[in-house]
């Protein structure tokens, strides 16, 4: 199962890097408003998906991985937001951090549902981990398709 999680992490990062390359190639054609929306969208999805994958990979060191996730989310936001002007930079950094925090929280609840006050789940732990890994792949794929479709319009 570790192989499945590692491969899903690599695929998500590859999709994120491809999205960064496509956005960077045509960044001078953006208006202010589209730059804000694009950096908000891209840094939010990549922060959520990457932090969820890392927490599922390393469940025993959750404190250190949580700190690294927030730094990773801020870095992704900085990369996506430094394309146009200060407004996209602020939007990217803030939303990257917020979505990294939310992904960490989701990963921790998957491992141990008693954190939130839930009495337990009927599905076993293995099923939950596999389901959330595939779920993150679907979210990243659909978000990439929606953002790329906006270039045609």
Residue ranges that bind another protein, judged by CB under 8 A = 33-34, 37-38, 40-41, 44-45, 48, 99, 102, 105-106, 109, 113, 116-123, 127-128, 131, 135, 139, 143, 146-147, 150, 153
CA angle at 117 for the pair 115 and 123, rounded to the nearest 5°: 80
The residue among 149, 115, 137, 129 whose CA lies nearest residue 48 is: 137
Report the Cα 97 to chain-centroid distance in Å: 10
Task: Give me the least distance between CB of 127 and another protein, in Å please.
Answer: 8
d(CA 93, CA 87): 10
Answer yes or no: are the C-beta atoms of 141 and 15 closer than 8 Å. yes
Q: Which is nearer to another protein, 88 or 143 (CB)?
A: 143
Task: Give me the least distance between CB of 6 and another protein, in Å please.
Answer: 22
Answer yes or no: are the C-beta atoms of 51 and 103 closer than 8 Å. yes
Task: Give me the least distance between CB of 35 and another protein, in Å please.
Answer: 10
Q: Which is nearer to another protein, 8 or 132 (CB)?
A: 132
Q: Which is nearer to another protein, 90 or 102 (CB)?
A: 102
Q: Which is nearer to another protein, 3 or 116 (CB)?
A: 116
d(CA 37, CA 32): 9
Q: Which is nearer to another protein, 22 or 109 (CB)?
A: 109
d(CA 109, CA 118): 9
């Amino acid at each position: 199962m570790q192989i499945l999680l590692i491969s899903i992490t690599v695929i998500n990062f590859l999709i994120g890097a491809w999205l960064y390359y496509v956005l960077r190639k045509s960044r001078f054609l953006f208006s202010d408003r589209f730059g804000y929306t694009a950096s908000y969208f891209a840094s939010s999805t990549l922060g959520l998906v990457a932090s969820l994958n890392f927490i599922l990979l390393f469940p025993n060191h959750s404190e250190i991985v949580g700190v690294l996730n927030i730094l990773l989310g801020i870095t992704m936001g900085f990369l996506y937001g430094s394309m146009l002007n200060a407004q996209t930079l602020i939007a990217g950094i803030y939303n990257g951090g917020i979505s990294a925090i939310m992904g960490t929280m989701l990963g921790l609840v998957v491992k141990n549902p008693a954190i939130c006050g839930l009495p337990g789940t009927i599905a076993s732990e293995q099923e939950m981990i596999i389901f959330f890994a595939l779920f993150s792949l679907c979210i990243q794929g659909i978000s990439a398709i929606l953002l790329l479709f906006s270039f045609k319009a």
